[in-house]
């Protein structure tokens, strides 16, 4: 664990007069004679040196002839950051020149504290701090507090003025040598710009985001950022000018706060690359936790549907699928992004809670901007039982916006709601002060694959461990196999789950994608979200990053490379404790042949062994290591061979009448199950009887079954709909690490309280028409159907499963069939419905790769809502044209164009195919496919020409369906 500096309360930082721990002898060495040891530098000196307790890191403060201040930073006696201005300007005075030292104080800062997330959970801070009190020519006072820590140097200004203080500018700057190498990103309010590498002398003038990394000499680095920023100040940025990087305020009118004011810390983490990556200096400088009881704060992994299916947050059924994914994977949460409906969220929460999964909800920050909004919405959402909120689109570093962070964090902490910030500012120690903040975006993460893939790539991934993630928890949303735009290998993607630290790790791909990658699903089911220790094994920013992280007795390793060539990772396993360990390596399946596929290797190792892993181009690996014990074959969760069965799986019932539900838990066929507990969960308001039969077994022998029965009774006024009685079994698996032993199996029994007659009719029209329905009394039924325009009806009998009737009509040989159908059950006959059946093989869609359109309710592209830039849509001027052309075999085609919804547009447009022209009104037709008639190709092709009216928004999609 790296020693790091401890934080101060704002008041203590102001005047720092009391020694917490006696200072080491002569911690500050002035050029002129100093005062007594431990009392700080002499007030008569014009040059002072503050040295960290370990003696390797130091800061030198100089007062020039004009009374201006300069500060430089050294490591092992060599300059890391050249002398650069220090000073501040306020509405009450200029403290950038004409300064006279009027007093100093020194103290030793030593502290131990715990966090909920981060590179480690237990921290030790050890630093020397000096306060230099200056007076300007007008008699105004300013104190400069300089802290020297073995991990780096930090300084802040303290303005003792009583009453409001307005800071109009800072002179603060950092000056790496011109020949230093920099890794930095242009400034943007979401901190999601693409980082790049350049010599400092070649970095263009302009605004840059924290935290830039500088290699000032072989093996020596400085990472520049700020810490302890909140609503008393704005979040600053760096401006490259005059050979240095100047601290720039976000607000044109300055930052105003009640006095006395202590500004955020200006921070330089200094050392070798491992020292930078492993440092906690930013957290050490942050104020202590403002949440006294953190027992409710639970980090974990989450299933997140938006990345793989942007329309899925609109669907309760889709979100239940992601809850089921979380259950299979043993993940703690599911995140429901933009589009959720208050009408069904409580049902989703109940569904998830019965399965041991917590629910997070997305919200735009502006929906919680005022106290009135927060008082209305946050308690309501909490009453639904959600675990946390994802707050998005803050998009500002202004003092006003940082004050909003303070307010919303106080409110969420009071309500015990976890927080994830997206579209957010950089974390500056927030996870220590507000420990319920489990993660923050502020990164060009996997979301950029959907928005701007050029901002992301293997080299970017290999930069973040040394820059963005080095200063705070980071929500990259990793392990995305199914994007067509990535250059990374499958193993590279998997490694990000270990390489990046986030208190809630949102795994962004679909259930189907993780099913296609079972090796990855195995690792993702076990990888922790919190760590006891973090070590850099090897790395070069932008080229490779190999990290090791420990959780309890287990070590996880993650490594990635960038570059269009195969490479090899080779290092000693010296981080392991003595003894024999089981090693599982997840690597590129074919390092020389391609990026697809993950191979798994297992063997026993000791700390003296080396790990050699061949890596594909832009490849990677992940590994987990645990103590080798007799019978242990994996460090993960292993297979779930036990079974749980609810009987019946579904039943029709009535309000006030009991139903009997039996559950049977069967131990794995070749191993016992220990500490078995079975139970049942009923909907709110239902009664559940005492169980008949045992519900606990300390040890259940292999293949044996534990059976219990309950009677569940709905209230007499229960709504007539479908419910779940969820049967559950918890048990400990054997021959796996203790932290992965506890398992939860769930099998629900559906209990339907149907209304009289037909109900719960569901249809899915694809290549065939799939129907299901419920009838209160009938046990046999059928569907009648005919092609549109035909006179005669055909009949397809339905199957009955005890609750629902099921029938399928089709598929047909034609590429497109329009049907009419009706359901007949007992004496009840449904109205006639229509359905269009489309053979996917008969469909050709021409677009620009990002069309936002649906087909039979299924999203076929990415949403265009809220995005612009020409790739997904444009707002045209009168006369704008676009042409879509498809080369097609001879035949008859139904042609349609997708018109995007646009609430504020009444623009018109016309689409021409051959001799036919079709006019559309965007407000009326928006969000639909507009039929353009049936046509045959001319010379093997069909073309559609759009002529837009002013303000018409075009989505890039035209569809051709062969109908003959």
DSSP sequence for 737-805:
-GGGTEEEEEEEEEEE-PPSSEEEEEEEESSSEEEEEEESS-S-EEEEEEETT-SPPEEEEPEE-SS-E
Phi, psi angle pair for 405, to nearest 5°: -55, -45
Report the alpha-carbon distance of residue 617 to residue 711 in Å, rounded.
59
Nearest alpha carbon to residue 899 among 926, 873, 879: 926
- Partners of 379 in the beta sheet? none
DSSP helix/strand/coil, 380: helix
Query: Strand (E) positions, 789-876?
Result: 794-797, 799-800, 805-809, 816-825, 828-829, 833-838, 843-847, 854-855, 858-859, 873-875
Q: Which of 392, 441, 509, 847 is catalytic?
A: 392
Question: Active site residue: 111, 151, 332, 447, which one?
Answer: 447
Q: Which three-class secondary structure string do you get for 227-294?
A: ECCCCCCCCCEEEEECCEEEEECCCCCCEEEEEEEECCEEEEEEECHHHHHHCCHHHHHCCCCCCCCC
What is the C-alpha to C-alpha distance for residues 436 and 417, in angstroms, rounded to an integer? Answer: 7
Cis? peptide before 211, omega within 30° of 0? yes
CA-CA distance, 405 to 231, in Å (whole number)? 8
Judging by DSSP bridges, how do beta strands 78-86 and 69-75 pair with one another? Answer: antiparallel
Q: In what order do the strands lie in the sheet with 758-765?
A: 758-765, 769-775, 805-809, 799-800
> In whole angstroms, what separates CA 922 from the centre of its chain?
35
Buried-state track 537-566, b at ≥16 Cβ within 10 A, e below 16? bebebbbbbbbbbbbeebbbbbbbbbbeeb
Integer-rounded Cα radius of gyration of the chain: 32
Give the sign of the dihedral formed by CA 249, CA 251, CA 254, CA 259: negative
Question: Of 672, 680, 668, 679, nearest to 698 (Cα)?
Answer: 672
* Residue 756: other Cβ atoms inside 10 A: 10
Residue 392 is among the residues annotated as catalytic for this protein: yes
Enumerate the active-site residues: 392, 447
């Amino acid at each position: 664990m790296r020693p790091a500096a401890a934080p101060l309360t704002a008041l203590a930082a102001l005047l720092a007069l009391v020694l917490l721990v006696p200072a080491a002898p002569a911690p500050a060495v002035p050029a002129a004679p100093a005062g007594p040891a431990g009392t700080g530098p002499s007030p008569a000196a014009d040059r002072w040196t503050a040295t960290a307790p370990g003696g390797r890191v130091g800061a030198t403060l100089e007062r020039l002839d004009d009374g201006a201040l300069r500060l430089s930073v050294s490591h092992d006696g060599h300059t890391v950051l050249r002398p650069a201005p220090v000073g501040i300007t306020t509405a009450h005075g200029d403290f950038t020149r004409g300064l006279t030292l009027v007093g100093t104080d020194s103290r030793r800062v030593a502290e131990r504290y715990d966090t909920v997330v981060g590179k480690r959970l237990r921290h030790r801070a050890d630093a020397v701090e000096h306060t230099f009190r200056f007076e300007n020519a007008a008699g105004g006072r300013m104190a400069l507090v300089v802290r020297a820590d073995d991990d780096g140097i930090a300084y802040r200004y303290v303005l003792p003025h009583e009453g409001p203080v307005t800071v109009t500018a800072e002179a603060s700057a950092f000056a790496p040598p011109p020949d230093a190498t920099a890794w930095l990103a242009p400034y943007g309010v979401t901190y999601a710009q693409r980082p790049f590498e350049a010599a400092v002398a070649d970095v263009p003038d302009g605004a840059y985001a924290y935290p830039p990394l500088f290699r000032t000499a072989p093996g020596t680095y400085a990472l520049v950022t700020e810490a302890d920023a909140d609503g008393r100040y704005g979040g600053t940025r760096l401006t490259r000018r005059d050979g240095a990087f100047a601290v720039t305020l976000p607000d044109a009118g300055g930052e105003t706060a009640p006095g006395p004011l202590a500004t955020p810390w200006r921070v330089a983490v200094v050392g070798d690359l491992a020292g930078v990556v492993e440092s906690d200096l930013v957290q050490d400088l942050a104020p202590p936790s403002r949440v006294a009881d953190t027992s409710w704060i639970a980090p974990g992994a989450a299933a997140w549907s938006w990345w793989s299916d942007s329309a899925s947050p609109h669907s309760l059924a889709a979100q239940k699928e992601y809850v089921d994914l979380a259950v299979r994977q043993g993940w703690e949460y599911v995140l429901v992004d933009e589009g959720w409906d208050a009408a069904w969220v409580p049902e989703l929460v109940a569904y998830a809670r019965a399965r041991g999964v917590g629910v997070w909800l997305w919200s735009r920050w502006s929906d919680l901007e005022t106290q009135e909004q927060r008082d209305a919405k946050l308690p309501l959402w909490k009453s639904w039982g959600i675990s946390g909120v994802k707050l998005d689109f803050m998009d500002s570093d202004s003092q006003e916006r940082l004050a909003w962070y303070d307010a919303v964090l106080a409110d969420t902490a009071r309500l015990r709601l976890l927080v994830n910030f997206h579209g957010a500012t950089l974390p500056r120690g927030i996870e220590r002060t507000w420990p319920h903040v489990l993660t923050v975006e502020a990164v060009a993460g996997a979301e950029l694959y959907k928005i701007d893939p050029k901002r992301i790539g293997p080299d970017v991934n290999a930069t973040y461990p040394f820059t963005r993630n080095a200063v705070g928890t980071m929500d990259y949303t990793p392990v995305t196999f199914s994007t067509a735009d990535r250059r990374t290998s499958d193993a590279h993607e998997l490694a990000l789950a270990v390489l990046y630290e986030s208190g809630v790790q949102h795994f962004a791909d679909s259930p189907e994608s993780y099913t296609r990658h079972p090796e990855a699903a195995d690792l993702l089911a076990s990888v922790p979200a919190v760590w006891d220790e973090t070590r850099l094994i090897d790395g070069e920013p932008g080229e490779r990053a190999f990290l090791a992280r420990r959780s309890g007795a287990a070590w996880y390793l993650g490594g990635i490379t960038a570059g269009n060539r195969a490479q090899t990772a080779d290092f000693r396993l010296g981080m392991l404790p003595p003894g024999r360990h089981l090693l599982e390596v997840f690597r590129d399946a074919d390092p020389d042949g391609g990026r697809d596929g993950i191979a798994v290797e297992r063997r026993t190792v000791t700390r003296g062994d080396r790990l050699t892993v061949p890596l594909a181009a832009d490849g990677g690996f992940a590994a987990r290591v645990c103590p080798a014990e007799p019978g242990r074959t994996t460090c993960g969760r292993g297979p779930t061979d036990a079974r749980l069965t609810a009987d019946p799986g579904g039943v029709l019932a009535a309000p006030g009448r009991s139903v009997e539900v039996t559950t049977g838990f069967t131990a794995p066929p070749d191993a016992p199950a220990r500490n078995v507990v079975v139970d049942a969960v009923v909907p709110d308001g239902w009664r559940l009887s005492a169980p008949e039969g045992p519900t606990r077994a300390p040890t259940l022998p292999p293949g044996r079954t534990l059976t219990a029965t309950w009677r569940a009774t709905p209230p007499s006024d229960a709504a007539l709909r479908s419910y779940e009685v969820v049967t559950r079994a918890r048990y400990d698996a054997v021959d796996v690490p203790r932290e992965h032993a506890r398992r939860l199996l769930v099998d629900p029994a559906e209990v339907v309280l149907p209304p009289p007659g037909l109900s719960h009719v569901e249809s899915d029209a694809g290549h065939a028409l799939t129907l299901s329905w419920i009838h209160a009394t009938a046990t046999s039924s059928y569907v009648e159907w005919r092609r549109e325009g035909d006179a005669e009806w055909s009949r397809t009998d339905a199957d009955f499963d005890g609750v629902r009737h099921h029938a399928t009509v089709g598929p047909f040989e034609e590429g497109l069939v329009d049907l009419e159908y009706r359901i007949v059950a007992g004496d009840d006959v449904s109205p006639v419905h229509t359905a269009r059946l489309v053979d996917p093989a008969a469909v050709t869609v021409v677009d620009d790769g990002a069309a936002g359109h649906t087909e039979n309710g299924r999203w076929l592209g990415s949403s265009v809502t809220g995005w612009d830039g020409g790739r997904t849509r444009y707002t045209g001027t009168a006369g704008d044209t676009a042409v879509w052309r498809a080369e097609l075999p001879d035949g008859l085609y139904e042609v349609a164009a997708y018109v995007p919804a646009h609430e504020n547009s009444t623009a018109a447009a016309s689409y021409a195919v051959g001799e036919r022209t079709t006019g559309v009104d965007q407000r009326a037709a928006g969000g639909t496919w507009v039929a353009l008639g049936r046509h045959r190709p001319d010379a093997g092709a069909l073309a559609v020409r759009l002529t837009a009216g002013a303000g018409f928004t075009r989505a890039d999609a035209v569809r051709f369906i062969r109908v003959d």
